């Protein structure tokens, strides 16, 4: 049976919006906060240096201030990722998305990739939710299965399909593979190229539980889904 299609506010509570491109500055962060508050989206994400700006703008709301670790490549050394995660906690972040080391996965060095993710999760120690980004656009199906296993073996409670930087839309096939490996008790965030309710519903049917969507499209889709 397909999940019930969420409408209006219920859909907004499944959507993260973001301003995480290199060119995004203070005005973009402030605009992001306005959209997040107006739409009551579940989270708004900015690059790490902007968390001290975003967090107070969201105080008192139901929208979490989020930020990525090792973004966008995932190739930072593990101690650098750990330091970044700890800095974000000190800055007041309420959610993190950590990019796994995709190069290690593609090289078949899965134990090393697992240790990398596990180190960040250990540093956070459950203080805030952490989603592990797999970057599906750079992985074939076998590699995607490996990446999902890396996240699960590292202890991740939430897996995310991509950064949105690769220009490859997340598909229901991607989500089905991740759900098969992740089991039924982990969150899957579909992110990248979601532009219509039809796409979103297909991803939901495949097993996604949360969505990362371009802010303008997110506002549009919630409006379309409002009776």
Residue-wise pLDDT tens for the chain (227 aa)?
A: 356 789 999 999 999 999 999 999 999 999 999 999 999 999 999 999 999 999 999 999 999 999 999 999 999 999 999 999 999 999 999 999 999 999 999 999 999 999 999 999 999 999 999 999 999 999 999 999 999 999 999 999 999 999 988 888 999 999 999 999 999 999 999 999 999 999 999 999 999 999 999 999 999 999 999 99
Query: Length of the chain in residues, anyone?
Result: 227
Contact at 8 Å (CB) between 120 and 82?
yes
Catalytic position from the list 81, 131, 146, 160:
160
| 2 belongs to a structural domain | no
What are the phi and psi torsion angles at 136 (to 5°)? Answer: -60, -25
Known catalytic residue: 97? yes
Known catalytic residue: 116? no
| 85 belongs to a structural domain | yes
Catalytic position from the list 16, 81, 131, 189:
189
| 3 belongs to a structural domain | no
| 52 belongs to a structural domain | yes
What are 54's two structure tokens? 């975003």
pLDDT number for residue 2: 53
Residue range(s) defining the domain that contains residue 113: 8-225
| 174 belongs to a structural domain | yes
Catalytic position from the list 97, 116, 131, 146:
97
Selection from 79, 3, 95 nearest residue 42 by Cα: 95
What is the total count of domains within the chain?
1
Please give the biggest Cα pair distance in the chain.
Answer: 49
Contact at 8 Å (CB) between 132 and 159?
yes
Residue 16 has what DSSP assignment?
E
| 123 belongs to a structural domain | yes
Neighbours of 176 (CB within 10 A): 15
CA angle 42, 200, 129 (to 5 degrees): 30
CA angle 29, 220, 99 (to 5 degrees): 50
Q: Say which CATH number the domain at 61 has.
A: 3.20.20.70
| 158 belongs to a structural domain | yes
pLDDT number for residue 167: 82
pLDDT number for residue 130: 98
| 177 belongs to a structural domain | yes
């Amino acid at each position: 049976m397909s999940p019930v299609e969420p409408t209006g506010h219920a859909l907004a509570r499944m959507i993260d919006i973001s301003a995480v491109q290199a060119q995004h500055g203070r005005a973009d962060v402030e605009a992001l906060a306005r959209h997040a508050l107006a739409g009551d989206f579940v989270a708004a994400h900015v690059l790490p240096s902007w968390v001290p700006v975003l967090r107070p703008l969201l105080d008192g709301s139901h929208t979490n201030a989020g930020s990525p670790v090792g973004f966008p490549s995932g190739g930072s050394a593990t101690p650098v990722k750990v330091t970044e995660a700890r800095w974000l906690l000190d800055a007041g972040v309420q959610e993190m998305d950590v990019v796994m080391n995709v190069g290690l996965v593609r090289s078949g060095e899965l134990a090393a990739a697992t240790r990398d993710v596990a180190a960040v999760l250990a540093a956070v120690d459950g203080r805030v939710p952490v989603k592990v980004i797999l970057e599906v656009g750079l992985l074939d199906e076998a590699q995607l299965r490996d990446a999902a296993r890396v996240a699960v073996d590292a202890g991740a409670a939430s897996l995310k399909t991509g950064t949105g930087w690769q220009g490859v839309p997340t598909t229901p096939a991607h989500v089905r593979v991740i759900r098969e490996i992740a089991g039924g008790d982990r969150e899957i965030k579909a992110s990248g190229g979601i532009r219509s309710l039809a796409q979103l519903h297909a991803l939901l049917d495949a097993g996604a539980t949360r969505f990362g969507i371009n802010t303008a499209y997110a506002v549009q889709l919630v409006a379309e889904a409002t009776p």
